[in-house]
Structure 1
Amino acid sequence: MAELAIETRALTKQFDRHLAVNDLDLQVGAGEVYGLIGPNGAGKTTLLRMLATAEEPTTGEIYIHGERLKRDRTNSSLKQRLGYLPDDFPLYDDLTVWDYLDYFARLYYLREPKRSRRLYEVLELVQLTHKRKSQIATLSRGMKQRLSLARTIIHEPLVLLLDEPVSGLDPIARMQFRDIIKSLHEARMTIIISSHVLSDLEDFCTSIGIMELGYLVESASLQQLYQRLSHQHILIGVFGDVEPLINQLKNHPRVEGWEIIPQTEKVRVKFSGNPENCADLLRTLMAANLAITEFAPAQESLESIFLKLEHKQAS
C-alpha cells in the first residue's frame, strides 16, 4: 500500500448545534493532488482548518505521514511540514514582494545563504521575480494570489492545503496558478485543494473527494471515478442529411443513445466501447459510404460526474 501523507479517523467538528464535519475518514497518498469539492457549507474549509491545526477537532484523529497531529506544542516539527493557504489570508500592502517573503522565511528560521536562495526559487516558481522590488499594493489579484502561495511554500512543506485558491481569478490567472500546482505535484508535494471550479481540478488532480453536509460522500482516484461513472461520447459530423447516420447508429451494439445537435449536421453519441470499438464504429460508418466530416471521442467532464453524484445522493 502506498504511503499515506494524510489520514483522518472519525474526524468530527461541531459548532454548538451545527455539525460541520461528521465522522470523516480520509486517506490521501503521498504525492497526490487531492481535489475537495462540494457546495458552500459542505465542511471543506473546516476540514482544511483542522488539517492545518487552525481548528481543534471535537473528536477524531489526524495523522501526517503516520504521525498523529496535535494542536498543542508537542509536535511543532510536524506542523512545520504543513503549508496552509486560506481563502482570506491578508497581505501587507506597504511591503515589497521581497520583504514580505523574507519576513515569513525568517519566521520559519531560514538562515542565509539558504534564505535568499529559497526566496529566488519561489519567486521564479510563481513567476514574480520581476516584481520582487514592487510594493504589494501595486500587484494584480492574480499576482497577489501567487505571492500568497509563495509565502505558503517558502519553508518547503511536505503537505500543502489550499482553500479555494482560484476563487475570483480571471481565466489567465487561473491557468497560471494551475501550472504552478502542476510543478509542485511534479516535485512530489502532497496537495489538498478545494474549489468550485471543477474544470480546473480535473486537469491536474489525481483523486477527488466530494463533501456534502459534513460527510465525505465520495473519495476515489480520478481514474476510478471516470471508469465507474463516466460515459464516453462521440461527436460525429456528416455532410448532408443525418438520417443515414442515425440508421447506422441504431444497429451498433455499443451505441447507447444519441442526440442531434440543433442546426448542425452533427450527432452526439453515447458510446460504451473502448478505443478499439470506436475504431470499429468509424470503419462501419465509412463502409456505409457516409460522408463523415468529424469523429471526436471524448470522456464526460468532471462537472457532469459531480452533478451525477449529486443527483444520486439526492435520490
Structure 2
Amino acid sequence: MVKELAIRTNGLTKQFDRHVAVNNVDLEIYAGEVYGLIGPNGAGKTTLIRMLAAAEEPTTGEIYINGDRLLRDQSNPTLKRRLGYLPDDYPLYEELTVWDYLDYFARLYRLREPRRTKRLHEVLELIQLGNKRNSLIATLSRGMKQRLSLARTVIHEPILLLLDEPVSGLDPIARMQFREIIKVLQEAGMTILISSHVLSDLAELCTSVGIMELGYLVESASLQQLYQRLARQQIVISTLGKQEELLAELKNNPCVQQWEIISVKNSVRVNFSGKQEDCADLLRSLIQANIPVSEFHCTQEDLETIFLKLGHKQAS
C-alpha cells in the first residue's frame, strides 16, 4: 500500500528584503508520521512552519496538504480548518477559566452542541486538566498552560498538527507529560510536525527528522535511516584488570577504529565498525584472552551527536 503524503512542498522559498529565511525547500512528510524539525536558531524552522500553517505567504513555491494546494487566500477554508498550529509564543487569556477558554475556541471553529461539550470533555481528559476546568488560567503552572495551548490547537480535530518549540522552557516532568500526549495524538492518526531544541525528546517521539541550516533543508530521512547512515556504533568495555592489557587486545581487532579512555570506571569507549556478530566475536576474544570484563555495552551515537556532526560538515 502506497502511503499518502500529508505535506509536500515544491521549491518553497521565503525572502524578507535581502534575507532568504527559507531557501528552495522540497519537503515530504507521510500521513501518520511524527516529523521532527531541528536546526540552530535562525535556520528557518519557524518561517517554514508558518508557511505550512498559512500564516505566512511564500515568496515562491507551492505547498500541498494531503494532495490539495494550500493558499493563503479564502479559496480553501476547509483545508485550513484541518490544520492545527501552535506557535512558540501564543498568548493565553489568563482571566478566563480553562473551560471558557476552550469553549471560546470551539465556538470559533463552529463546533455545535452537543458535539462541542463532548469535545471539550475529550480534550480535557487528553491533557489531564479535567480537575482544573473551572480554574483561572492565571493559576496554572507553565506545563499546564502549554498543555492547554495544545488542547486549543486540537479542539477542532485537525489532521495535521504543526508545533513550534512546544516544550521550550518546560521542566523534565512537564516535557514527559507533553510527549505522552503527542504519542496519543499520533496513535489517533494525526500527522505531526514538531520543531524542538530538545533532541532527546525528538529521538523518542519522531519517525523522521529534517535538519535545517541557513534556510536549506540539508537532511530529511527516517530516524532509522539517519542512524544507519550517520551514527557510529560504540561499545563501552570495563575491565577489573589492567587497562593496558584490554587495549592490547582491542588493537588486534580489525573492527575497532578508535577508542577513548573513560578513567572513572577503568573503561574504554570504542568506535566499532562491525555488525552484531562481530561484537559477539570481540567479547569472546576478550574472555579467551583472560581479560576480566565487567561491562560490555553496545550503544549508538545519539541524535544530538549526529546533528552536531552534520553541522560541522556544513560549516567546513
TM-score by length of 1: 0.98
- Match in the other structure for 1:34: 35
2:241 and 2:291 in contact (8 A); partners too: no
Offset, 1:211: 0.9
Look up the equivalent residue of 2:45 and give its one-letter code.
Answer: K
Q: Which moved more, 1:239-248 or 1:57-66?
A: 239-248
User: Residues 36-51 of structure 1 correspond to what in structure 2 (within 5 A)?
Assistant: 36-51=37-52
Q: CA RMSD in A?
A: 1.0
Provide, for residues 244-301 of structure 1, a one-character-per-residue CA deviation record: whole Å limited to 9, x for no partner: 1111111112111111112331110111122222222212212222211111111101
Structure 2 distance, partners of 1:199, 1:84, is: 23
User: CA separation in 1, counterparts of 2:132 and 2:104?
Assistant: 16
Give the equivalent residue in structure 2 for 1:205: 206
Matching residue's letter, 2:275: N
Shift of 1:2: 2.0
Q: Separation in 2 of the partners of 1:275 and 1:136?
A: 52
For this pair of structures, how many residues does the alignment match? 315
1:148-186 deviation digits (Å, cap 9, x = unpaired): 001000111110000000111111111111111111122
CA distance in 2, matches of 1:148, 1:123: 11
Residue 20 (structure 1) shift: 0.9
User: Is 1:188–2:189 an aligned residue pair?
Assistant: yes
Amino acid at match of 1:96: T
Structure 2 residue identity aligned to 1:271: F
Letter in 1 for 2:154: I
SS at structure 1 position matched to 2:204: coil
> Where do 4+ consecutive residues of structure 1 move more than 4 Å?
none
Verify: 1:160 aligned to 2:124, yes or no.
Answer: no
Using the alignment, how far apart are the partners of 1:181 and 1:139 within structure 2?
20
Aligned twin of 2:296: 295
Say whether the 8 Å CA contact 2:11–2:62 is kept in structure 1: yes
Name the CA distance, whole Å, in 1 between partners of 2:264 and 2:120. 56
Q: Which residue of 1 aligns with 2:76?
A: 75
| 1:226 aligned onto 2:227 | yes
Aligned residue for 1:263, secondary structure, equals helix
Match of 2:57 in 1: 56
Query: Larger deviation: 290-299 or 279-288?
Result: 279-288
Letter of the 1:225 partner, please give it. L
Identity of aligned residues (%): 73
Of 287-296 and 67-76, more deviation after overlay is shown by: 287-296
- Could you say what secondary structure the match of 2:144 adopts? helix
- 1:70-126 deviation line (CA, Å, top 9, x unaligned): 111111000011000000111010111111111111111112222122111111111
Match of 1:309 in 2: 310
**Alignment gaps of 5+ in structure 2:** none
For 1:302 and 1:257, the matched residues in 2 are separated by 21
1:124 partner letter: E
Q: Following TM superposition, by how much is the alpha carbon of 1:305 offset from its aligned partner in structure 2, in angstroms?
A: 0.1
Normalising by structure 2, we get a TM-score of 0.97
1:11-70 deviation per Cα after TM superposition (whole angstroms, max 9, x unaligned): 111111111111111110111111111111111101111100111111111000000001
The equivalences for 1:1-315 within 5 A come to 1-315=2-316
Deviations 1:170-221 (A, max 9, x none): 1111111111111112222111111111111111111111111111111111
Q: Any idea what SS the aligned residue of 1:295 has?
A: strand
Per the alignment, in what secondary structure is the counterpart of residue 26 of structure 2? strand
Partner Cα distance (2:34, 2:95) in 1: 34
Alignment partners' CA distance in 2, 1:246 and 1:37: 38
Q: In structure 2, give the amino acid aligned to 1:297.
A: C
Runs of 5+ consecutive residues of structure 1 not aligned to the other structure: none
Deviates more, 1:230-239 or 1:273-282: 273-282
Task: Give the AA of the match of 1:274.
Answer: K
